Amino acid sequence: MKVPFFTPWITDSDKKSVLKVLNQRWLTDGPALKKFENLFSKFIESKYSVGCSSATHALHLSLKSLGIGKNDQVIVPTMTFSATSDVVRYCGAEPILIDVDMDTFNILPEKIEEKITNKTKSIIVVHYGGQSCDMDKIMKLSKKYGLQIIEDCAHALGSTFKNVKCGNIGKAGCFSFYPTKIITTGEGGMITTNDNKLQLKSRLLRSHGVDKTPSIREEKALWKYDIIEMGYNYRLDEIRSSLGLSQLKRVNQINKMRIKIAKKYNQSLQTIKGITIPKTKKDRNHIYHLYSIKVEDSYKLSRNELFKKLSQKGIGTSVQFYPLHLMSYNYTKYKNKKNEFTNSNKLKNQILSLPIYPTMKEKQVNYVISCLK
């Protein structure tokens, strides 16, 4: 049997929605983006949503809109995708890596405080795998030191902390619609915020820093436009927006289906010696964008051997993440500081993400379980 690590779920109504948009005159900067942004704000309960071409670009626009630049420092977890720290470098600022919790793989708030300097301007927290960080502790640090909190919600569409949606707690939330994510547009992203200045600035920078978009110029019969600032082309076109809109309509169903599979995994895997199932803290939910187990020393195989063995049996798994401080790109900077990351150094040999997605069949879930057993 084949069990790929991930398969996107594209329905007939998703396809219809995309085809419909192809008959529009505006294929970018049009009505589908507006509808997608409005429904997104409704779901997150944020005042504003700004669609963009990826979560990477959503993070970059958020930092730029907050004025992060040269000589600034931004705190990020080491156990994340490179995009979370790359965007800090895009701004000319310095990412400061922090270790993560052994149970949730989320950034350790206790470790943040000792790294705050007068250069620190912001913290990007990552809600690993679809479970929120400890946002009470993070927001306390934000108040105490005047730091802007950006939530990297690439995994967290529908995650909550004390019943508040992730993406509606810090200054901005940044979501990904990459094909493996909760909903997909192929490539795409979204910023959520309650800050009017941030949303206006992000919209401006998303489209070259132009004061009037082409659709507004047409509507107002004005040719004149100005470039207020250097910007980017980080737009989310109508084709992708229409796919996102159609998918967002069933996001609760998608998350329910993932949670159902996670429960089945939890029940069956918790009794296997040497396998630690994901832990959920009591003041938050888990939507299982990732179902990441820990393969402990007492299991019969190492994590790497298990990865290989499952692959031979037709099961796709993945390692999320290999810590950033050990990547070649960062190696020189962190060469003498490797011991600061005790937990991540251990987790890097233990974590394994199992297949989990709405289209996964019960017999596929059972097959993964029986192979692990």
Task: Summarize as ranges the residues that interact with ligand PLP (CB under 6 A).
Answer: 54-56, 80-81, 83-84, 126, 152, 154-155, 176, 178, 189
- What minimum distance in Å lies between the beta carbon of 186 and ligand PLP? 10
Nearer to ligand PLP, 234 or 299 (CB): 234
Nearer to ligand PLP, 80 or 268 (CB): 80
Cα(297)–Cα(295) distance, integer angstroms: 7
- What minimum distance in Å lies between the beta carbon of 321 and ligand PLP? 8
- What minimum distance in Å lies between the beta carbon of 320 and ligand PLP? 7
- What minimum distance in Å lies between the beta carbon of 272 and ligand PLP? 27
Nearer to ligand PLP, 189 or 275 (CB): 189
Cα(228)–Cα(263) distance, integer angstroms: 51
Nearer to ligand PLP, 189 or 365 (CB): 189
Nearer to ligand PLP, 111 or 155 (CB): 155
For 68, phi then psi, to 5°, come to: -70, 130
Nearer to ligand PLP, 109 or 244 (CB): 244
Name 367's Cβ contacts closer than 8 Å, sequence gap at least 6: 1, 3, 315
- What minimum distance in Å lies between the beta carbon of 352 and ligand PLP? 16
Q: How many CB atoms lie within 10 A of CB 60?
A: 25
Nearer to ligand PLP, 21 or 182 (CB): 182
Nearer to ligand PLP, 104 or 268 (CB): 104
Contact yes or no for 83/326 (Cβ under 8 A): no
- What minimum distance in Å lies between the beta carbon of 85 and ligand PLP? 10
Nearer to ligand PLP, 134 or 152 (CB): 152
Residue identified by tokens 């989310």 is: 236
- What minimum distance in Å lies between the beta carbon of 58 and ligand PLP? 8
- What minimum distance in Å lies between the beta carbon of 128 and ligand PLP? 8
- What minimum distance in Å lies between the beta carbon of 84 and ligand PLP? 5
